[in-house]
Amino acid sequence: MHRSATDPRPRVLHLAQPVEGGVAQVVLDLTKAQLAAGLRVTVACPGGELAAGARELGAEVREWHAGRSPGAALPDEVRRLARLLHEVRPELVHAHSAKAGLAGRLAVRGRVPTLFQPHAWSFEAVGGATGALALRWERWGARWADRVVCVSQAERATGVRAGIRARYTVVPNGIDTARFTPAPATERPAAAPLVVCVGRLCRQKGQDVLVRAWPEVLRRVPRARLVLVGDGPDRDALRRLAPASVEFAGAVTDVRPWYRAADLVVLPSRWEGMALAPLEAMACGRPVLVTDVDGARESLPPGHRAPCLVPPGRPGPLAGAVTGLLLDPELRASLGDRGRRHVQSTHDVRRTAEAVAELYRELLGGRPLVSSERRESIHS
């Protein structure tokens, strides 16, 4: 698709793989804000939740067939993407996560202003030769990103320490604070203490550590319940590992009821960029417990770190922290209240969208993202 000569607005292409979870939500939130501001937005991805959500918002969606991980199909994926770029003719490309960042930069090679947003570095997810290869690529591919957008200062620091020489900008993740809100007290029936873990069932999110910690939690809080909300490649292994009392809710279309019902939301990740689940939970007024990894610690408000931060990969400290919070309702209430105020002031999605828009304006040479007529209608 060629840009109309009569339409001065630049076209933004969001390129994404994966198409579910936090990455997809970030893309949808940006797409929604950019469409509302009058930009022309195209989303290229391999279908799934992201494509359906983008179409519902009114964005143009282009199917880009690509697997989640690099492999022998990569050259064909890059060629398909190059053809798509020729058709769409974007004036700015925003590539999300490792796979889209790899294929996108190979296809664009600096010919169009390009932002790369890792959403957690690829080389943290793998070890050995694969991890070394991923790091080598990130160092080399940085030349084809006009800006690397990190969602936390810690993520940026990890890239710098790894020798990735890039122009970095930190834009913390944001969530819709008007959508994620506390439930009325009348909607929280008295029941057994409920711990909820929301996220893709995979090694990164660390649900196996929480499941291993759970018997010790039950020893001290016998009526406690644990619910894992989400789906993913580790589902069957976790079911085999988990005690019978652990519940698997699967993937849900609306996670808010689970946050609002929880006495404690836990995210025991092994690595993160900045997960949305703790932000969403805090916006719902719920206390959170996360691991001391990049991005996760930065999502917490000042003063939360002592009771709400545990070392990754260690069931013992995790069980102790979960138990301590379950046995202290006054502390949980205080943490929930402070967490909501923190998210409202620091992680509202409108702040995130405006920070990204400012980057776009900079990379487009200060060119307005919308026409003067549209700006007048927005502010009238």
Task: For the beta carbon of residue 67, count every other beta carbon within 10 angstroms.
Answer: 13
Cβ–Cβ < 8 Å for 105, 145? yes
Residue 128 is predicted with a pLDDT of 80
Asked if residue 147 has pLDDT above 90, the reply is yes
d(CA 167, CA 53): 31
* Rounded average pLDDT over 192-202: 95
3-state secondary structure of 366: coil
Residue 187 is predicted with a pLDDT of 62
Asked if residue 304 has pLDDT above 60, the reply is yes
pLDDT category at 368 given cuts 50, 70, 90 is low
Residue 21 is predicted with a pLDDT of 86
Which domains does the chain show, CATH number per domain? Answer: 11-174+348-379 (3.40.50.2000), 185-346 (3.40.50.2000)
The region, left, alpha or beta by phi > 0 then psi within -120 to 50, assigned to residue 333 is alpha
Asked if residue 299 has pLDDT above 70, the reply is yes
Asked if residue 2 has pLDDT above 90, the reply is no
The set of residues, in sequence order, having a beta carbon less than 8 Å from that of 303 and lying 6+ positions away, is: 338
Residue 375 is predicted with a pLDDT of 38
Residue 79 is predicted with a pLDDT of 95
How do residues 155-180 score in pLDDT, each as one tens digit? 999 999 999 999 999 999 999 999 99
% residues pLDDT > 70 (the chain)? 92
Residue 7 is predicted with a pLDDT of 62
Locus of tokens 């549209």: 374
CA distance between the termini of the chain: 32
Whole-angstrom Cα Rg for the chain? 21
How do residues 215-256 score in pLDDT, each as one tens digit? 999 999 999 999 999 999 999 999 999 998 899 999 999 999
Asked if residue 145 has pLDDT above 90, the reply is yes
Residue 380 is predicted with a pLDDT of 33
Asked if residue 108 has pLDDT above 90, the reply is yes
Residue 369 is predicted with a pLDDT of 59
Residue 188 is predicted with a pLDDT of 58
Asked if residue 105 has pLDDT above 60, the reply is yes
Residue 374 is predicted with a pLDDT of 41
Residue 307 is predicted with a pLDDT of 85
| Residue of 249, 218, 248, 240 lying closest to 315 (CA atoms) | 218
Residue type, 282: M
The region, left, alpha or beta by phi > 0 then psi within -120 to 50, assigned to residue 120 is left
How do residues 75-85 score in pLDDT, each as one tens digit? 999 999 999 99
Residue 10 is predicted with a pLDDT of 87
Residue 158 is predicted with a pLDDT of 94
d(CA 151, CA 12): 20
Task: Output the average pLDDT for the chain.
Answer: 90
pLDDT category at 153 given cuts 50, 70, 90 is very high
Cβ–Cβ < 8 Å for 270, 148? no
